[in-house]
Each structure stands twice: as C-alpha cells, then as structure tokens.
Chains A and B, each alone.
Chain A
Amino acid sequence: MRSDSRYVCRTGGADRTSFTMHGGVAVKKNTTEAQRGRHARRWLRMSTVAVASAALVLTTALPAHATYYSGGMPGTTFNVKYVGVNDTYVHLFNDARSRWNKTTSTGVSLGRSSSAAASMTAGRYSASWYGLYSPSGVRGINRAFKIQVNARTLQRDSGSNFTKWIASTSTHELGHGLSLADNPGTGRASLMKHSRNRTTVYAPQAYDIEEVRRIY
C-alpha cells in the first residue's frame, strides 16, 4: 500500500544523499589562503545544495492540493456493502465500482462484501441533493463511509437519462472514498465537479485518475 508514502519518498532520498556527502567536511584550524578558498567554495556548494534541497522539499512535498479530501479511505483497495437496495441498484453500484477498478496504474480495487464497514444505499429522499458521502472513523485506523444516492431528485432532474445520472452520482461518491474533493480547481473535465454534465460524465476522467495516482 502506497498510502501517505508520497510525503516521504519524493524528497527523502535526495536529501539524505546530499547531507551525507557534505556532513563529514572538516574545517581545519590554521588553514592557508588556498585552503580557506577551497573551504569557502565547499561552503558555497553546500549552501547551494541545502537551499536547493529545501526549495525542492517545499515545492513538491507539501500536501496543500485543492483536490485532496481527507475523508477518503487510507488506501485504494477496500470493500463496500450494499444496504436495502434492489437488484437494479446492485448492478448500478457494481458498475460504479467497475469504472474505478478499470482505471490504470491507480491500484484501485473496490470489492463488494456483506461484512464491509463502508456502505452504499439509495432511496427517495425529500431533498435537493443527488448523493451524499459521510465518512466515519479515523483515516488509517478505522475509516468507513456511507454513500446515499437520492433517486427522487435524480429522477426529477435527469429526464430520459435517469440511469446515467445514477451512474454519475454513484461513481462520484466513490471518488470521495478515493480521497477526491469536490469541484477541483481545474479547467479539465472531472467527475468530481458539481457542474459536470451527468449524462456524459459518469466515469472517472483523465484528471481524476491522475489525481488518484498522485494522492496514493
């Protein structure tokens, strides 16, 4: 599992190498002018490396990405159970998992298990939302989630594309389980945008897939 490793691995090797190389430099007393010149050049090189390393750390390792959502699961492999839905929704939820499982080089494997802590359900809720993702527990310890799909409002707004809108909502909510936030600040197409066309955008888009790779 690669969870959280990005915060260590992106810079750790380079930093360790740099500081091991330079950490043993000794500066002798009573040095000659030439020696002092060499020491000054060494110090300049070391300072440059240190500053460059620090800049590299700051620009690549900070987890301040607008698309990261801490309410997601700690890894890309987890199970969900379906609660209180008919076979039609079982197939719809299976398809939603499958859309994520088909993504390449993400490590995503979303299974179905009746004993899973995470759950998906659907119902007719008297509310304007289409879907809801509610995390519980602590990430990395006992994180679970509940996904609720609102058939009532999806039916109201989807016209003849009801099934595609259910698909778009179900797959979107599973995206939260993969730590994707809503409305990423990108001009590219994303399943996680509220403004997406739910008739055509019901699968993870290239941007979403790249983000899952980046996060995990």
Chain B
Amino acid sequence: MRGHLLSLSAILLAGSLTLTACAAPPRETAAKHDTIVMKADYPVYDGVAAAGAGSDIVIEGTYTDSRVTLLRPEQSTSTDPHANPQAGADDAELDADAMAVVVTVSKVRVNEVVKGNVAVGDVIEVSQLGGTYDGTTYQEESTTLIPEVDGDVVLLLAKTSKAGYDPINPEQGVLVDTGTSLHDTFGQVVFDHVNTIDDLKGAVN
C-alpha cells in the first residue's frame, strides 16, 4: 500500500511538472488589448565619445510638463524615391494619421549644459515613443518616459525640429544622475568611467 502511495505521488509530481512545463506560452489576455508594446530599432553608440558625437545637445535638466500627441511623417517635397517614400505613391493611400506614431513630448528646463547650443534656463521639448492616446497605452520596450523618471535627468539628444529633440536612443540617451553615478533608468551603468556630469563633459567635448 505504501508502495502504491509512493508510486502515485511520484507520478502525480512528475505529471504536474510536465503540465506546468508543457503549458503553452503565456497568452495575452483581453485586458492587455489596451496596451501595445512596441519595439524600435535604433542606432547604438560604441562608447561615450561616439554617443556625444551623435548628440546635438547634452544637458542635465528638470522635467516640468508633458503632453501626448501623434508624430506624423513629414510632408516631403523630395522626388528621390528612397529619401521620400511617398514620392510617386498613390495619393488615395496616403493617410498621415494612420501612419502616425504616438509620442510623449516632455518639457525639460535646462540646469546644466554639457554640449550644444542651448542655455541654462531654456525649456526644451523632448519627444519619446509611447503614451496613452485615445484609451490605448503605447509603450516602447526599452523606453522610460521622462515623466516617469524620479529626479533630474541627463539627456543626450538629437535635434528633430526647430525646437524639438529626442534621445539618441532609449538606453544611452536618458540617464539618471544620483550625484555619485550616472546610470540608465534601469540602474545600469551605461558608460564606463563616467560617473558625474564633469566626467561626461570631459568625455563628449
């Protein structure tokens, strides 16, 4: 009888392990319908010098405000079919809203300038993928939106419009300054031997 029980226990244990391990990959539930997790392909830079060279401005700043909006493709007049994907396209198919992406535009007051043509006290606008729009939340997998960062931010930014910027990429373009270290929004050191704003100034200039 004891043998039976032991046998049964072993079978049940192995069976439950089998069922657990053989379960299908987690399916998204209906509730997740309202959240879209995007994946972006973007440039990455081999070290702080390259990241600095790829940035139009590098600043430390304080977040003040944000809005969520649609980023539509530019209306280009170029006839180069590679440079302008809409050059020669059927006008009936063009729908700028359908081609738009949801972005959060944050206002950041500049506290310190590491690089670039911007001054302390200026308020710049920084665009990032994601945000909640029309009841749907869009998240880019590697992006932490500036409003979600606790404390002041160090930003390595590319110019995107007359007054607008975006991070050179989600991982190397948005850093948190703790006073003793500069790391990304997940707490990981991004650039070796760059722990302070002064280190960053020395490395990118």
Contact = CB atoms under 8 A, between A and B. Distances in A.
A46 B14 CA distance: 11
A124 B85 contact: yes
A215 to B, nearest CB: 9
A39 interface: yes
B26 A70 contact: yes
Contact of B41 (A27, A62, A129): A129
Contacts of B98: 83-84
Nearest to B81: A88
B95 A84 contact: yes
Nearest to A157: B43
A100 interface: no
Contacts of B160: 126-128
B10 A50 contact: yes
Nearest to B2: A27
A26 B8 CA distance: 11
A163 to B, nearest CB: 7
B129 A129 contact: yes
B21 A11 contact: yes
A84 B44 contact: no
B25 A128 contact: no
A149 B99 CA distance: 10
Interface string B127-158: 10100000000100110000000000000001
Interface string A167-189: 00100110010000110000000
Contacts of A169: 41
Interface string A51-80: 101100110011100001111000000000
B159 to A, nearest CB: 9
Contacts of B43: 128, 130, 153, 157, 194
A123 interface: yes
A126 B13 contact: no
Interface stretch (B27-35, B109-117, B175-183, B190-198): B27-35
B42 A128 contact: yes
A70 B85 contact: no
A134 interface: yes
Contacts of B168: 128
B81 A128 contact: no
Q: Please name the 6 residue pairs, one residue from A and one from B, whose CB atoms are nearest each other, closest first.
A: A123-B73, A27-B3, A88-B81, A122-B85, A126-B160, A131-B41
Interface of A: 4, 7-8, 11-12, 15, 19, 22-23, 25-27, 29, 39, 43, 46-47, 50-51, 53-54, 57-58, 61-63, 68-71, 83-89, 121-140, 148-149, 151-153, 155, 157, 162-163, 166, 169, 172-173, 176, 181-182, 194-195
Interface of B: 1-4, 6-7, 10-11, 13-15, 17-18, 21-30, 32-33, 36-44, 46, 71-74, 76, 81-90, 93-95, 98-99, 101, 103, 127, 129, 138, 141-142, 158, 160-161, 164, 166-169, 173
Given A85-B86, A125-B101, 19 more contacts: A11-B18, A15-B14, A19-B11, A51-B14, A54-B13, A54-B18, A57-B21, A69-B39, A71-B39, A89-B81, A123-B85, A123-B99, A126-B71, A126-B161, A130-B42, A134-B36, A134-B101, A151-B85, A182-B41
16 contacts: A11-B22, A25-B7, A27-B2, A57-B17, A70-B28, A84-B85, A85-B86, A88-B85, A126-B161, A126-B164, A126-B166, A127-B101, A134-B38, A134-B138, A135-B38, A137-B33
